Amino acid sequence: MVRQDCGSCHGLTLQGGLGPALTPAALRGKPSEGLVATIVHGRPGTPMPPFRGLLDESEAAWVVERLVEGFPADGGPAPTQQTVGAR
Ligand code: HEC
């Protein structure tokens, strides 16, 4: 979902496009609350749309965590947490 919806503006590899890059290097040092607010409410006056309705704050926070950690390059395997939890 992040790759498709966000990738349409931020680039399929999240290196940037219409919107800025969402890579760990680009996001380093930015407060995650601000990034979460950007995702939930959008940024007025820019093409960044609000995702409330699609994502609530905790889901947006999850997305930010994943982005800061580095999103898997190929959409890769499910998060290890789930793999571990399944055992
Ligand atoms: C319609 C195009 C569009 C879509 C879709 C979009 N964005 Fe954005 N996004 C932007 C633009 C443009 C900006 C830069 C806003 C500005 O100039 O401050 C931005 C900014 C951001 C920022 C702040 C980055 C920073 O360095 O401060 C985050 C985080 C972000 N987007 C995450 C997302 C996520 C996650 C999604 C998918 C749920 C998404 N965006 C979908 C256009 C988009």
> What is the mean pLDDT, run by run of 10 residues, along the chain of 87 residues?
83 90 92 95 95 93 90 54 48
Domain that holds residue 44: 2-85
Residue 31 sits in a domain whose CATH number is 1.10.760.10
Q: Which 3 state secondary structure label does DSSP give 8?
A: helix
* Whole-number pLDDT of residue 70: 83
Ligand 1 centroid distance, CA of 51 (Å): 10
Among protein residues, the one whose CA lies closest to atom 36 of ligand 1: 6
* Whole-number pLDDT of residue 13: 86
Q: How many domains does the chain have?
A: 1
* Whole-number pLDDT of residue 5: 84
Q: How far apart are CA 67 and CA 46, in angstroms?
A: 21
